[in-house]
Amino acid sequence: MTKEFDITKHSLVPKHELLDAKQKEEILKKYGITLRQFPRMLETDPMAVMMGAKPGDVLRIARKSETAGETTYYRVVIKA
């Protein structure tokens, strides 16, 4: 019997959140950038697959930081 591993429960995987269209537009406006300027994540990335993200979607990632406590990072999903 194969046991599935939930990668979201791993201590090294930060919290990921899929943004809706309104949130995505707010982030683009806030930083005055386009989707092409975001760091990328392949649609085949395990977290993108788990969250059902499609190319063009944006993920908000909350990373732990020793100096800042927590930092927010964004990545756009691209076609593999």
- Average pLDDT value for residue range 66-72: 91
Single-letter residue type at 57: D
- Structural domain range at position 28: 7-78
Instruction: Assess if residue 2 is contained within a domain.
Output: no
CATH number, position 41: 3.90.940.20
Rg (CA), the chain: 14
- pLDDT, mean over the chain: 92
Please report which residue ranges of the chain form alpha helices under DSSP H. 21-31, 46-51
Predicted local confidence at residue 2, as pLDDT: 58
pLDDT digits (tens, 9 = 90+) for 9-40: 888 899 999 999 999 999 999 999 999 999 99
Instruction: Assess if residue 52 is contained within a domain.
Output: yes
Contact in structure between 48 and 27 (CB atoms under 8 Å): no
Q: Is 80 exceeded by the pLDDT of residue 1? A: no
Number of separate domains in the chain = 1
Instruction: Assess if residue 1 is contained within a domain.
Output: no
pLDDT digits (tens, 9 = 90+) for 39-48: 999 999 999 9
Instruction: Assess if residue 51 is contained within a domain.
Output: yes
- Determine the Cα–Cα distance for residues 56 and 79; give it in Å rounded to an integer: 9
Contact in structure between 50 and 17 (CB atoms under 8 Å): no
